[in-house]
Structure 1
Amino acid sequence: MEKLPVEVLEKILTNVRLSVQDVVHFSLSCHHFYQIVTNSNKIWKTKLFQKWPQVKTLLENKQIIFQHEVRYIYELKKRTRNLLEKMPAKFYKRYEISDSDLHEWNNILHEREEVYNYLVLDLMEVVNTDVPINSIEVVPLTTPGNKTFQYYANKVLRYIRQLHLSKVWKEYISLPQSRQILEVGAVFVAQWCQPNVEVSVEDIGKKLDNIADEVKAALRSFYPEHPLFKATQQQLDLWRMENRDQNEWKVNECRQLITVMRAVLFQQMKFCGNNHSYYMPQNSFINEVLEKRQGLPITLAIVFEGVARRLGLRCEPISFPAHFLLRFCESLDPESDWYYIDVFNGGQIVRKGACPHSRFSGSRDLFPVATAVQVIERMANNLEVSARQHAHPNGKITRLRSSLELLKLVNPRDISALVSLARLYMLHNMDTKPLENFLLSQEFEVPEQAQRVVHMLRDYEAHHARNDLGLFSQVEAAPRSPNLHYAVGMVMKHLTLNYKCVIYDWDPVCLAAAEWQAQNNVDKLQLKDEQPFYNVLVEDGSHRYVAQENLTPTSDREEIYLNEDVGRHFSHYFETHYVPNAEKEKEYPADKKIRHWFHHQKKLESINL
C-alpha cells in the first residue's frame, strides 16, 4: 500500500463514498500516509466540496490551504454547538430575544468572509433534522431532532440572516434602477421572512427561465417565424439581468408574445390569485408562489414581469391603492394605445377607462411606474397586515417583528412602522436602545414625531429596565396542589372550542387580572376562578390561558408541533405527550409522575383494544 503512487491514493481518497472522517482516520494509520494526506490540497478541496457543495462557488477560485479550511469549519461547528447549548438556561424566561442578546454571534461573523455561509449551513442542518426521539425521559440538548436545540438555532439563524440581508439591501438600492430587478427584490423578502428555508436568486431565476422556455415552446407552435427565435444568447442574458426601457419587438410581435404568455401562465400552468387565503404570508413569498402557482397581485406581477423581460418585453408595475397591475404598451410610442394586465384575475386585459381602481383620464402619467424599492415596501406592508390578521393576539410575534423590521430597513422614515416596532419591543421587554439610536440618526418630515417616540422609549427604559440580571437565574420548582388534574406536556382538547393544545405552565387558581376574567366570562364557569388555569400552546400558533374544567386529555395532537414556541418548552414528542426540556423539568418536577401515569393508562387502553 505504501508503494502506491500519490496520484492513485488521491484518486481513492477523493471517492465520494469516503467521508472527511474516513480520510482523517486513514491519515492516522501511519506517518507516510499522514504526510500525503496533509500535503494534498486536492484531497481536501474535493472533500470540502463533496460535504458542503453550497460553498463551492465561494471558494473554488481561491488560493487557500483547503485542509485548514476544513479544520476551521469543524472547529466553528463545535463553537456553534457550545453557544447554542448555553442559550436555553440563559433565555428560558425570555419570550423574545433581542438582537443585542446575540452579540457573540455577530463577533463570529466578523472573523472572516466565509463565516456567514458556514454558520448558515450548520444551523440549517440543526433546524431541518427530523429524527424522532424515542425516550420518555428528558434528553440531552444536542440529541438530533431536539426541538429546544432547533428553537434556539432558529433564533440565531434569523438573526445572522437578517444581519447579512441588511448589507445585501444596501448593495441592491445602490444599483442603478436598470439593475434593480424585481425578482431579486422578491427573493430578498422571501429570505428575510423565511430564515430556515433556502431561497436563492439563482434558483428563482432558473424557475423563471423554465417558464420563459415554456412560453417559447408554445410561441414556436403558433408563430414559428417570430424574431425572438433569432435573438442571440448575449441578448437573452442581457434581458434576464436588466430592466427593459422599451420592447424589443414590433406591435404585432409584442401582441403575439403577450397572447401566448397569458395562455401559458394562466391557462396551461394555472397561475391564479389566492382569493380564499389572501393575506396568508405564503402569497408574498416568490418561492411559494412559483411552487403553488397562486399568490397576491404583487407577487404574481413579479413572476409575469420576470418572464416577460426574458422575452424582450417591458411590463411596468403600477401600484394602485387597492390593487397591483402591470401596464403594457405594444408600441414604442409612449402616447399610443396601452392597457393593464390583471395577473390576479387570470391575466385579464383592462383597457383605458375600464380600471375600477382609478379615475382614468387617459393620461399615461396618472399612476407612475412603481420603483423596485416601492414594490418591496408594499410587499413588507402586506406582510405586516398578514402578521396582524393571522397571528392570535396572544400568539407568536416573530412574524410581526420580522415584517416591522423589514419596513424599518426598506423605508427607514416610516414613522408609523417604527412606533409599532417600539411598542412591540417594550411589550416583550426587549432592548430598545438600538431603536432609539436609529431614530436619532434619521431625518423625518415631522421631527417632532420621532422625538415623541424617543421620549416614549427613554421613559420605558427608565421605569421598565430589562431584567438582564435574571439571565442564568435559578429556576425554582413549582409545588403541585391537590386540585391539579393535569401536567405540563400533556396534549389537551378544549371542550367547547375544540382546538388541540399542549400544557406548558399552570396556576393552582386563576391569576389573570379582573378585567381579563370579566372579558372571558370566568364567573360563568362552574368553579369560576377557584380552579387551576393552564397556559397552553395551541395549534394555530397562539398561547392561551384555560380553565381546568374546559380541558380534557386527547391523543390527537394534530398540528401543535407547528407552533414555533413548542421548542422553547419541550425537547420532543413521545407517544402520548411532549417531553419537557431540562429547564421546564426543573420548574415542574412533580408533573413527571402525572405525565407517566397518563402515558401508562393510554398504553393499557391500546393493549385492551
Structure 2
Amino acid sequence: MATIMNLPEEVIYIILGYNDISIEDIINFRCVCKNFQHVVNYKFMEKKLLQRWPTAKKLYNKKNEQKNKGSSNFIKIGMNWTRQLRNSMPQKIQEYYKRDIAIDNSPHYTYMFQLDKDTSVSYPYDKYMDDIKMSFYIDEIKNLLPEFSRKTVYDLTEKYYYVQLFNCLRSYMWNIKFRKFIKQPHKVQLLERSATFMAQDLQPQKEVFYSSVTAILDGMALEALNSLREKHPDHSIFSTSEKNFSYWKKNNIDDNHWDEAEGTQIMNTLVEYIFGKLNFRPNKVENIDWNTQLKYKCIDNVLEHKYGQEIIIYIIYHSVARRLGLRCDIVIGYPGTNICLFWKPRYDTNSSKDVRCFRINFEKFPDCFIKYCFTKLEIIEAKKMKDILSAMIQYNENLWILDFFDSPIGYDYNWDVNLKDWSTILERIRPYCNFNISIEKFERLNARSEDIKFAVGMIVTHNYQSVDCPTGVIIGWHRYKHRKFVKISGEDRRSSNCFLAKICSDMKKQTHYIILTENNEMCYVGEDALTLTTPKWIENSEMGRYFNKFEGTHYVPNKALEKCYPHDAAVTAAVTARKTISENLYYKFKHKLV
C-alpha cells in the first residue's frame, strides 16, 4: 500500500482540491513536514480561495465582465474583506453587549454590520461593490460555521452572532433579488419563482435552488402528459412543438391553448395525477411549531413531502398546468376572502359559463375538492403572492386579510392572574404571535440570597406537567416579590424574531427561572419544578446569545448575562463542582462494594 509520500503530486492536488478540504486543512498539511511545503504553491491556494467564495466570484465576474480584471484582483479584494470581517466581529459583539438586554429576545442584529466604503483596496468604489462584499461575507461565514463545529472549544457567542449575521445577509440578498424580479415584465413573474424566493428567505442556511424546483415541476408535467396520452392519445397537445412547451414553462400565458373539451381533459388528468397518484394533501394542523411551518409552507419541502399549505399546492398545480398550455389562476374569492383555484375555457370573454372554482378538501381523491361560488374575484400575481406567503407563514390560513394585520400586536399580562390561565391563552393565540419573556431592571434583582436554590448556567430538568422532563440551562431568575418586573409580550409574527416562550409554572410565592431547553424552547418555570441534573450539552439555537462556552459541568455566561447576574457564575461553578465530587465518590464507593 502506497503512503502519501509516494503519491504523485498530481494525485495529491486532486485529493486536496476536494471542496470539503478547507484552507485550514491545507495549512495543517503543509506544516506536517518540509517535503509537503513545496506541494501547495500559490496557484493551488488561489484555487482553494476561489472554491471558498463561489457566490462572490460569480457576482464579481458578472459585474466585471466588460473589464479586464483577473482572479488575482478578486482574491486580493476577498482577503481584505475577509480580514475585515474577522477583525470587526469581536468589536461588533462588544457593541451589542452594551445595548443588548440578555433576557430580552427582541431582534437586535439586523443592522449589525454596515457595508461601509472600503478605501484600503485599489479599485474604484461603485454601487455594485456592496453586493459583492455581502457575497464575500456570506461565503466566508458559510465556511466558518463548520470550522466552529470541528473545534473542541469555541466561543458560543461568537458563533451565534456569525449565524445571525449570515441569516440576515442571506435574507437581505434574497429580498434584493425579489425586488429586481418584480420589476420584470408580468409574463415572466412566475408564481413558483415567488414561492421559491420565500423558501430561500425563510431557510437561509439551506440551499434552495430554483433550478431544483423547476426540475421537479418539469418532471411532474412530463408524467402528467404521459397519463394524458394513455387516456386521450388523440389530444392536440401531442402535436405541439418543443418551442411552445419551452415558452409555457418560462412565461405566464394569457389564455388556454385548447378548446373546452381538451382543456377539461388536461384538468381532469392533472387532478387525478397530482391528488390521486402523487397524493398531495393540504395541511390541516393549525397550531404547529416554527420548523413544522417551514416544512409545510416552503415549496421545496411541499414538493418533497407531498403535504403542505393549501396555497403552495395551488402554486404547484398552477405551475404544472401552465407547462401544459393551460391557464389556471389562483384567486381570492369574495365574499369570504377564500383562496381558491379558478379556471374557465376562454379568458378573452366575460362569460361565466363552464367556470370551475374549487378549494382542496381533506378527503382523498376523487372527493378532494369543494366547489366554491363567488360574486367577485381577485387574481393573485407574483408580488402579492409573496406578501400572502409571508403573512401565512406567520399566521394560519386566510388571516392575512384581517385589518389588525396592518399594525403590530401587543399583549402584556398581569402576573397576579393565574399563570395556568395565561399558559392557556398563549397556546391559543401562539399561531398569530411570537411571545417573549423578559426581566427588566436587573439592578434590583442581582443580589443573591441563600434562599435562591439555582443560578444562571446550571443545567436542570423541569417536571411541570411533563412526562419526558426536558433538560435545559438557566438564563435568568427573579424572586416572587420582583414579579412586577417580569413581562410577557407578544408581537406580530411577520416582523418578530422572538424566541417562543412557554409558561410551565403555577402562581406560587417562590423564585421563578427562565431556561432554554433541549427541544429549542424557552420555558418559564417555578423553583419547585426544577431539579439539578447530570450535565449535558443543550442543543438550543439561542444558546450562544447568553453563554460563551460549555465547561462540561455548566455553561459560562457571556459578559452581557454576567452583568445582569454578577454573582451567579461563582455559585454555579461551586455547586456543580460539589455535585461532581459527590457523584465521583458515590461511584467509587459503589465500585468497592461490588
TM-score after normalising by structure 2: 0.69
Aligned pair partner of 1:292 in 296, 299, 305: 305
CA distance in 2, matches of 1:202, 1:551: 50
Query: 2:475 is aligned with what amino acid?
Result: Y
Q: Which residue of 2 aligns with 1:497?
A: 465
What per-residue deviation string (whole Å, max 9, x for no partner) do you get for residues 417-454 of structure 1? 56318x79xxxxxxxxxxxxxxxxxxxxxxxxxxxxxx
Q: Give percent identity, aligned residues only.
A: 20
Partner deviation per Cα, 1:364-402 (whole Å, 9 max, x = no partner): xx3132222232222222233259x9xxxxxxxxxxxxx
Distance in 2 (CA, whole Å) between partners of 1:75 and 1:535 is 42
Code of the residue aligned with 1:124 in structure 2: it is K
How far apart in 1 are the matches of 2:172 and 2:158? 21
Q: 135, 145, 153: which is aligned to 1:117?
A: 135
Name the counterpart of 2:499.
none
Is contact 1:534-1:545 (8 Å) kept?
yes
Letter in 2 for 1:111: M
Is 1:567 paired with 2:544? yes
**How has the CA–CA distance of structure 1 residues 98 and 553 changed in structure 2, closer, same or farther, with 3 Å as cutoff?**
closer
**Deviation for aligned residue 1:60:** 6.0
CA distance in 2, matches of 1:269, 1:603: 57
2:73 is equivalent to residue 68 of structure 1? yes
Matches within 5 A, 1:379-390: 379-385=389-395
For 1:368, the equivalent position in structure 2 comes to: 378
Amino acid at match of 1:17: L
Matched residue type, 2:74: E
How far apart, in 2, do the equivalents of 1:579 and 1:24 lie? 30
Match of 2:242 in 1: 233
What SS does the corresponding residue of 2:482 show, helix, strand or coil? Answer: coil
**1:295 Cα deviation after fit:** 1.4
Whether the 8 Å CA contact 1:212–1:311 is kept in 2: the answer is: yes
Aligned equivalents of 2:287 and 2:254: distance in 1? 32
Give the CA deviation at 1:187: 1.7
- 266, 269, 276: which one pairs with 2:275? 266
The SS at the match of 1:420 is coil
Mapped to 1, the partners of 2:237 and 2:58 lie a distance apart of 32
Please state how far the C-alpha of 1:556 moved relative to its aligned partner. 9.4
Change (3 A) 1:226 1:592: farther
Structure 2 SS opposite 1:152: helix
Are the equivalent residues in 2 in contact too, given 1:91–1:97 (CA < 8 A)?
no
Residues 229-378 of structure 1 correspond to what in structure 2 (within 5 A)?
Answer: 229-277=238-286, 281-282=293-294, 283-320=296-333, 321=336, 323-330=338-345, 334=349, 335=351, 336-343=353-360, 345=362, 355=371, 358-359=373-374, 366-378=376-388
For the residue of structure 2 that corresponds to 1:116, the secondary structure is helix
CA offset digits 1:151-191 (Å, max 9, x no partner): 21232123323433343233233222222111111122223
The aligned runs of 1:8-23 (5 Å cut-off) are 15=14, 17-18=16-17
1:243 maps to a residue whose letter is N
User: Cα–Cα, structure 1 residues 80 and 103, in superposed 2: closer, same or farther, change >3 Å?
Assistant: closer
Worse-matched range after superposition: 338-347 or 190-199: 338-347
In structure 2, distance between residues paired with 1:514 and 1:580? 22
The structure with the largest helix share of the pair is: 1
- Is the CA contact 1:534–1:547 (under 8 Å) kept in the aligned structure 2? yes
RMSD: 4.7
Which shifted more, 537-546 or 269-278?
A: 537-546
For residues 347-369 of structure 1, what are the alpha-carbon distances to aligned partners after superposition, in whole Å with 9 as ceiling and x for unaligned?
76899xx745x446xxxxx3132
Q: Is the 8 A contact 2:331 2:380 kept in 1?
A: yes
Helix, strand or coil at the partner of 1:307: helix
Whole-Å separation in 2 of the counterparts to 1:223 and 1:509: 75
Alignment of 1:183-202 (within 5 A): 183-202=192-211
Counterpart of 2:114 in structure 1 is 104
- Please report how far the alpha carbon of residue 549 of structure 1 lies from its aligned counterpart in structure 2 after TM superposition: 1.7
> 1:505 touches 1:535 (CA, 8 Å); kept in 2?
yes
Aligned residues between the structures = 500
Contact 2:92 2:112 in 1 (8 A): no
TM-aligned CA deviation for residue 54 of structure 1: 4.9
1:131 to 137, 141, 149: 149
Shift of 1:272: 0.6
C-alpha change, 1:53 and 1:98, in structure 2 (3 Å) is: closer
What are the Cα deviations for residues 204-254 of structure 1, in whole angstroms up to 9, with x where unaligned?
222222322332343344444544444433322221221111122333433
Aligned to 2:123: none
Instruction: Give the secondary structure class of the aligned counterpart of 2:83.
Output: helix
1:419 aligns with 2:407: yes
Shift of 1:17: 3.0
Aligned to 1:102, what secondary structure does the other structure show? Answer: coil
Q: Tell me: CA distance 1:490–1:133, structure 2 relative to 1, closer, same or farther (3 Å).
A: farther
Deviation at 1:132, TM superposition (A): 7.0
Amino acid at match of 1:323: N
**Alpha-carbon distance in 2 for matches of 1:287, 1:606:** 51
Counterpart of 1:505, as a letter, is G
Q: Which residue of 2 aligns with 1:439?
A: none
Task: Output the amino acid matched with 2:16.
Answer: R
**Equivalent residue letter for 1:306:** S
Report the Cα offset of residue 317 of structure 1. 0.5
Is contact 2:557-2:569 (8 Å) kept?
A: no
Match of 1:458 in 2: none
Q: What is the one-letter code of the residue matched to 1:589?
A: A
Contact 1:245 1:314 in 2 (8 A): yes
Pick aligned residue for 1:553 from 532, 555, 562: 532
- Offset of residue 276 of structure 1: 2.3
Worse-superposed segment, 60-69 or 104-113: 104-113
Q: What amino acid sits opposite 1:594 in the alignment? A: V
SS in 2 for 1:131: helix
The amino acid of 2:357's aligned partner reads Y
Kept in 1: contact 2:276–2:365 (CA 8 A): no
- Stretches of structure 1 that go unaligned for 5 or more consecutive residues are 1-7, 361-365, 390-406, 425-466
In structure 2, what is the Cα distance between the partners aligned to 1:253 and 1:602? 77
SS in structure 2 of the partner of residue 505 of structure 1: strand
The unaligned stretches of length 5 or more in structure 2 are: 1-7, 119-126, 412-439, 489-502
Give the counterpart letter for 1:183 in structure 2: E
